Structure 1
């Protein structure tokens, strides 16, 4: 796994400014005001649900997500300004402080429990943890943790806050996201480049298995202190 990531990262283009490639390896910690963010999310909850727990499975749950990942996602929508994305008009009028406040607010919320009572026996569990060397699928736990709570080194340095926790996320959203990484050549961050390289070996069956297991796995922690040594 480490060798694969090293090869992908070695090919990264240099850090670029607005509209270009963003290298997240040295990205700073994301700080904001959760109370201020609560006053800025009225439009967000229409799609992403009260306190970031989306009722519509096509939309991602935002509650208990790492603030760095949330902030970079929002900043990416603003940077790309894709006219086809429904997120573009939502973020164009927001300043950087607004994005940080919103990210920290949703990160401080609690993720709803999965609807499925047990994920232990789902086939996606082994694929997530061990990968499949015969198909060129690397273990997902290397970046997202053994139980999909986020990078194993989350909390030790800001860069690891930019890897998302995947537990208790919608299976429909996860499957669509993985297919997009696999089929869409657009990458504008170092983490997206890693995912592009990994997802290209996932067929639809593997994606469905991974998404089903992740959706059934509880989000264990909502700690978002942002305290780094």
Structure 2
């Protein structure tokens, strides 16, 4: 309960301070961004729908979140051998434009493995009180739409394989660019089975109608 209350308090603080931060990506030009993503297509697929499940779908993702991740790749706050070098020649305006473009694209839907649906939904909606795993809905919403102003990403429809590796990266600390260590704290309490199940559930989740702006 204490961990849940702390997570909610941090999330509330981030949302309240997110209005100014949201403007960082608001100035992006989607038309300009379309002309800048040719190199991105090889991994992230046509219109941001990655065909290979180890890479994330960017289509329909919040522009603010994409912008932050690109900035973190460039600064090294988020380490990635493939992404880091590609960010070096790009400017902040390039990031804004790319983020704006992908945010306007339609994401392709995914499906959930029925065998993982029950546990995955239970973790996503209710967490695991016994081990202190908080519900994913607190930040990502009941339908997985996330919250752009707070840079909480849309997760609905994302590849399960990418989600699985991302959660394990947070668990080990290999990925550490989450605000106040929120995701690292959650993932550190999750078992491999829970991570696999919730990743499968999210892959088949839909955020329509959206539960957040």
Please tell me the TM-score bracket, short chain as reference: 0.7 to 0.9
Q: Note the aligned Cα RMSD (angstroms).
A: 3.0
Task: Indicate the residue corresponding to 1:16 in structure 2.
Answer: none
Distance of aligned partners of 1:59 and 1:96 in 2 relative to their CA distance in 1, 3 Å threshold: same
Calculate the TM-score normalised by the size of structure 1.
0.79
Cα shift readout 1:46-96 (whole Å, capped 9, x = no counterpart): 100000000000000000000111010111000108785100121110000
1:110 maps to 2:106: yes
- The correspondence of residues 102-181 of structure 1 with structure 2, limited to 5 A, is 102-116=98-112, 121-151=117-147, 158-159=149-150, 162-181=151-170
Task: Indicate the residue corresponding to 1:27 in structure 2.
Answer: 21
Say whether the 8 Å CA contact 1:25–1:190 is kept in structure 2: no
- Give the Cα–Cα distance (whole angstroms) in 1 for the partners of residues 139 and 79 of structure 2: 31
Number of positions where the alignment pairs a residue of Structure 1 with one of Structure 2: 205
1:97 maps to 2:110: no
Structure with more of its chain in helix, by fraction = 2
- Give the Cα–Cα distance (whole angstroms) in 2 for the partners of residues 64 and 221 of structure 1: 13
Q: Displacement of 1:176 after TM fit?
A: 0.1
- In structure 1, the residue corresponding to 2:118 is in which secondary structure? coil
* Stretches of structure 1 lacking an aligned partner (at least 5 in a row): 10-22
1:47 maps to 2:52: no
- Give the Cα–Cα distance (whole angstroms) in 2 for the partners of residues 144 and 129 of structure 1: 10
Distance of aligned partners of 1:78 and 1:24 in 2 relative to their CA distance in 1, 3 Å threshold: farther
Distance of aligned partners of 1:73 and 1:82 in 2 relative to their CA distance in 1, 3 Å threshold: closer
Cα shift readout 1:182-210 (whole Å, capped 9, x = no counterpart): 0126534525x111111110110000010
- Give the Cα–Cα distance (whole angstroms) in 2 for the partners of residues 25 and 71 of structure 1: 15
Equivalent residue for 1:183, pick from 150, 172, 187: 172
